[in-house]
A and B are shown apart, each in its own frame.
Chain A
């Protein structure tokens, strides 16, 4: 069992009006040293695989097929091992 922490961000060449608006808000609050804000997406995905290489391949395929749009976004992810789920019927 693994936990994938997936980050999807706009490519540097794509304008990010949301990030610009957040930056404006931070400036209004007095954080004048803020130079740039880029807003993106963060997803946590639990995946029930035993092998880390297979888990990595699957998460990569998810990013390419659905989670990121290659026209405007890039992605990266970290994988963390999680304790295996208890088999059905064990414990109370």
Chain B
């Protein structure tokens, strides 16, 4: 699977993503500077974490108008896979490729820690290697990860199985204590209606090697790779 890693001014997790695709998953990968507009050589594009444009105004608000984003919209419309991680999730929300918005963490703290995620839907292209109810350990690293959407949108997400990952205890229980940022319904990751665009706050690219503390992130990228080989 040919991965494109999109780089905005202020993106910081592009190197981590690139390393995982090239050295761990052994897939062809290239960086895509945000001024580029041709994504035709990729099967999957990743919008990595970071602080694009310094998070000025709102996280993702300015990056959303970078030249590459019109191409990302077309790429998604063609049914190809798009993964937004952390700041990438925020950008996808600002671009309306995903519903809702990521607010400042309810406790106003930047949180960098391992969290547990319960897989809520294993029918998406990003979770097919997981089992529903499985608990993944993946780190977060953010200040604005507090998922918010109006009630109608939340209902739609819930009733159509578009919540893919939820913050939970190590035993898989959804509790307020397991929620690191105040996100509504403990939401950590969602997909769009068509199911080919994923946004998630935790960083699967930082959980792909045992030496870094865990390999659960490989289930997410591995699921995506299965789509092509199927």
Contacts and interface: CB of A to CB of B under 8 A. Distances in A.
Interface stretch (A30-38, A47-55, A66-74): A66-74
Contact of B57 (A14, A21, A66, A71): A66
B115 interface: no
Contacts of A64: none
B150 A71 contact: yes
Interface of A: 13-15, 17-18, 21, 41, 66-67, 69, 71-72
A62 B159 CA distance: 35
Select the residue from B57, B62, B65, B105 with max chain A CB neighbours within 10 A.
B57
B103 A72 contact: yes
Given A13-B150, A66-B57, 14 more contacts: A14-B103, A14-B148, A17-B107, A17-B108, A21-B108, A66-B62, A66-B65, A67-B57, A69-B58, A69-B94, A71-B101, A71-B150, A72-B101, A72-B148
Contact of B106 (A15, A41, A66, A72): A15
Closest 5 CB pairs of A and B: A71-B101, A17-B106, A17-B108, A72-B101, A69-B101
A21 B106 CA distance: 10
B107 A71 contact: no
Contacts of B105: 17
The contact size tier of chain B is 10 to 19
A21 B109 CA distance: 12
8 contacts: A14-B103, A15-B106, A15-B182, A17-B107, A17-B182, A18-B108, A69-B58, A71-B148
Contacts of A15: 103, 106, 182
Interface in B34-86: 57-58, 61-62, 65
B149 A66 contact: no
Contacts of B182: 15, 17
B196 interface: no
B9 to A, nearest CB: 17
Given A67-B57, A71-B149, A17 B101 contact: no
A41 B150 CA distance: 22
Nearest to B99: A71
Nearest to A43: B57
A17 B58 contact: no
Contacts of A67: 57
B133 interface: no
Nearest to B106: A17
A73 to B, nearest CB: 9
B190 to A, nearest CB: 14
B36 to A, nearest CB: 22
A71 B103 CA distance: 11
Select the residue from A13, A14, A15 with max chain B CB neighbours within 10 A.
A15
Contacts of B103: 14-15, 72
